[in-house]
Amino acid sequence: MNSRKTGKRKSWRYRYRTFKRNRLYPLWQYIRWPFIGVILLFGLSLGYIGFYIYSRNIGEEVTVLDLIYRSIQLIGIHSGDVEGKLPWQLEVARFLVPLVAGYMLFQALIAIFQDQWQQLKVRFLRNHVVICGLGERGLKFAEEFLEDGYQVVVVEEDESNAYINLIREQGASVNIGDASDEYTLRRAGVHKARYLVAVTSDDGTNAEIALCARNLSLLSRRCPLTVYIHIVDLELCHLLSGWCFAATETDLFRLEFFNVLARGAQILLKEYSPFEEQNRLKKKAPRILIVGLGMMGRSLVVQAARTWWAGYADKGKQLRVAVIDKAAERKLELLQLRYPKLEEACCFEVWQMNDNEPEFEKGNFLFDEKGSCDLDYIYLCFDDDVHVLVKALILHRKTKKDKVPIVVRMRRAEGLANLIKDNHETLDFDQIHPFSLLNKTCTLESLLGGSQESLARSIHEDYIEQQQREGATVKTNPSMANWDDLPEELKESNRSQAAHIEDKLKKISCGIQPLTDWDQATFEFSVEEVDLLAKMEHMRWYNERKRQGWKYKPGPKNVNKKTSPYMLPWEDLPEEVKEYNRNTVRKLPFYMARAGYQIYRRKQNDKL
């Protein structure tokens, strides 16, 4: 699971394709056939003149129709093979005309056999990316991977999809077919791919794609296949997300579930955070307003409460959250049932109303009992760009003098979002901040930084801190490099450790589930459990290193020669190394909570 470095220079292949697509291709499309027609007519005219001069030189009487006929025959190279000295006009024409005709024939063959050509290209791909579903999300992900230098194959069932030609122009191959069919995925080279991203509009289809990909993942594989499944239903995605660890049955197949709305809430709260230092210095806790408790709004409530609980809920203060929705009470009650700490973390003001009612226009929810507006942020979470902008302008007019930031959820960065951003000063929209959902969430950083990747990063960051405490540096221990600079082999080791957590927990009748109890970072193992899990982790590490060719050798670890003093059975390890593994096990609940998961103890009749 590669993760791009922030600000990484775009690949030369992508820059060339962008220049060709934005500059050369539109110009060529506009002038291509008129240009080809002029060149063909020019060549035929040269042929006519050349044959006329040639006939006069050899004393042959020819008619106008004879000259036209011979010139046309140049297309098939039938009349250009003549003896004697040829005039330069005929020399040029007998090469130029067939070349132009050949180009026209080649274009016709490409149009007829385009699918076969695409399939031939796919046969030779390795470690590429397969995108299933070419909607807005699929198009954005395909563009992101192409920008990063990956080879991309798109599988789309609708051959009339308007995005097909667009993504082909950018360099992707497109296979027409049902992505949930194993034969179609094989044609797309899934068994040789590095990533598969299923973003069709149907959750069931995306799940079937994952099952087919798992069956194909064992065929001729040298690197793991990571499958990212988009689940449209937010609640279903939340319930399935803990299963991705159990679904990782082998080192060759990894599964991640994601939802752009849930990811969007996390990113939005990072970019427009009410928890900044100046807000923490206030006597009161921050007060935020969330308008619309759809999937995005509910995700934002949970993410804000969890962030406040984890790092800011000091001195018993509660985050003040005002919510507006026509079914606000019911939706908030469901959230409180799913997240027991929600009521402790937040003090809710519930305004059950529709946003097109007079009460919304009055805006009483913006002000306290003294008539002052103490809101730190307003978040508008509707899914209609025009509708959400109208409501943003209404609230902006009422809160303008208080300079309350209004974050507006919009689908894309184009259109209305650009209008607001580009005219902040001239239209006095400086307090309105458009948040483009697709542009923020359909990125490689967001996609590849999934649950297991986040967990792997946390493990590596803790390893760096541990080594720094012992006085090690990157020079003395290259494994301490930052995640983005870490060799792929070491990244895979951390990912393997993250994926193996589920297997360890099964041995002590524990499991993994999405984080709902925000105190679960304090989960504790017994002394016996810690020792067992530490031994299992060492054996996993030992077997992994052995497969990679590492050997035992006393003295310092040598990465280049692949030698380590710790390539020993558990019983023969020094006590300090055993304790290091035990400390890693004790930190598992912290790692899991940081990635959004918690460890729980199974009941005796639970199936493992």
Report in angstroms the alpha-carbon separations of 369 from 51, 276, 352, 365.
Answer: 98, 25, 19, 10
d(CA 172, CA 476): 43
Whole-number pLDDT of residue 531: 93
68-125 pLDDT, tens per residue?
A: 988 888 887 776 677 778 899 988 998 999 999 888 888 787 766 766 666 777 788 8
- The residue from 53, 88, 112 where one domain ends is 112
Query: Which stretches of 381-472 are DSSP H helices?
Result: 385-399, 416-422, 437-441, 444-448, 451-469
CATH assignment of the domain containing 152: 3.40.50.720
Same-domain pairing of 496 and 523: yes
234-270 pLDDT, tens per residue?
A: 777 766 765 555 545 455 788 888 888 888 898 899 8
Cα first-last separation, the chain = 28
Same-domain pairing of 75 and 130: no
pLDDT at 602 over 90: no
Lowest-pLDDT range, 21-30, 62-71, 421-430?
421-430
- DSSP class of residue 485 equals G
Same-domain pairing of 80 and 228: no
Contact partners, residue 175, CB within 8 Å, separation at least 6? 115, 118, 119, 122, 153, 154, 155, 156, 184, 187, 188
- The residue from 395, 419, 439 where one domain ends is 439
The sign of the CA dihedral 51, 57, 58, 59 is: positive
Whole-number pLDDT of residue 418: 60
Whole-number pLDDT of residue 48: 92
d(CA 267, CA 264): 5
pLDDT at 281 over 60: no
Mean pLDDT value across the chain: 82
pLDDT at 10 over 70: no
Same-domain pairing of 103 and 130: no
147-196 pLDDT, tens per residue?
A: 888 999 999 999 899 999 889 888 889 988 999 999 999 989 998 899 99
pLDDT at 5 over 50: no
- DSSP class of residue 570 equals G
User: Contact at 8 Å (CB) between 142 and 167?
Assistant: yes
291-339 pLDDT, tens per residue?
A: 999 989 999 999 899 888 877 666 668 899 999 999 999 999 999 988 8
CA-CA-CA-CA torsion for 568, 573, 577, 578, nearest 10 degrees? 110
Whole-number pLDDT of residue 571: 92
HSE-up of residue 440 (Cα within 13 Å, Cβ side): 22
394-451 pLDDT, tens per residue?
A: 898 888 888 899 999 987 666 555 666 555 555 567 788 889 888 888 888 788 776 6
**Closest CA relative to residue 583, chosen from 545, 533, 541:** 533
d(CA 121, CA 295): 40
Structure tokens at 148: 């990063």
pLDDT at 272 over 60: yes
Q: How far is CA 148 from the centre of its chain?
A: 11
205 or 20: whose pLDDT is higher?
205
Same-domain pairing of 486 and 589: yes
In which band, very low, low, confident or very high, does the pLDDT at 347 lie, cut at 50, 70 and 90? very high
Helix (H) or strand (E) holding 305: helix 295-311
Q: Average pLDDT for residues 376-397, to the nearest whole number?
A: 88
Whole-number pLDDT of residue 147: 85
- DSSP class of residue 250 equals S
- The residue from 402, 420, 439 where one domain ends is 439
pLDDT at 608 over 60: no
User: Contact at 8 Å (CB) between 473 and 480?
Assistant: yes
Domain that holds residue 540: 449-601
**Closest CA relative to residue 391, chosen from 381, 401, 400:** 381
In which band, very low, low, confident or very high, does the pLDDT at 279 lie, cut at 50, 70 and 90? low
18 lies in some domain: no
Residue 69: φ, ψ to 5°: -65, -45
Same-domain pairing of 370 and 498: no
17 lies in some domain: no
Give the largest CA-CA distance in the chain: 111
Whole-number pLDDT of residue 417: 56
Same-domain pairing of 97 and 81: yes
CATH assignment of the domain containing 595: 1.10.490
Whole-number pLDDT of residue 569: 92
Whole-number pLDDT of residue 322: 94
Whole-number pLDDT of residue 133: 94
pLDDT at 607 over 50: no
Q: Average pLDDT for residues 452-466, to the nearest whole number?
A: 79
Same-domain pairing of 389 and 459: no
341 lies in some domain: yes
d(CA 301, CA 237): 17
Same-domain pairing of 207 and 121: yes
Which residues lie across from 559 on neighbouring strands? none
The sign of the CA dihedral 465, 275, 336, 236 is: negative
Lowest-pLDDT range, 130-139, 194-203, 229-238, 581-590?
229-238
Structure tokens at 228: 């990212």
Whole-number pLDDT of residue 605: 46
Query: Which stretches of 6-81 are DSSP H helices?
Result: 12-19, 25-57, 64-73
Whole-number pLDDT of residue 413: 64
**Closest CA relative to residue 405, chosen from 273, 291, 306, 285:** 273
User: Contact at 8 Å (CB) between 159 and 118?
Assistant: no
265 lies in some domain: no
- In total, the chain counts a number of residues equal to 608
Same-domain pairing of 289 and 434: yes
Same-domain pairing of 501 and 475: yes
d(CA 286, CA 314): 12
Query: Which stretches of 527-599 are DSSP H helices?
Result: 527-547, 575-586, 588-594
Number of domains in the chain: 4
155 or 597: whose pLDDT is higher?
155
In which band, very low, low, confident or very high, does the pLDDT at 14 lie, cut at 50, 70 and 90? low
In which band, very low, low, confident or very high, does the pLDDT at 1 lie, cut at 50, 70 and 90? very low
SS3 of residue 319 by DSSP: strand
Q: How far is CA 506 from the centre of its chain?
A: 31
HSE-up of residue 161 (Cα within 13 Å, Cβ side): 23
**Closest CA relative to residue 570, chosen from 532, 603, 519:** 532
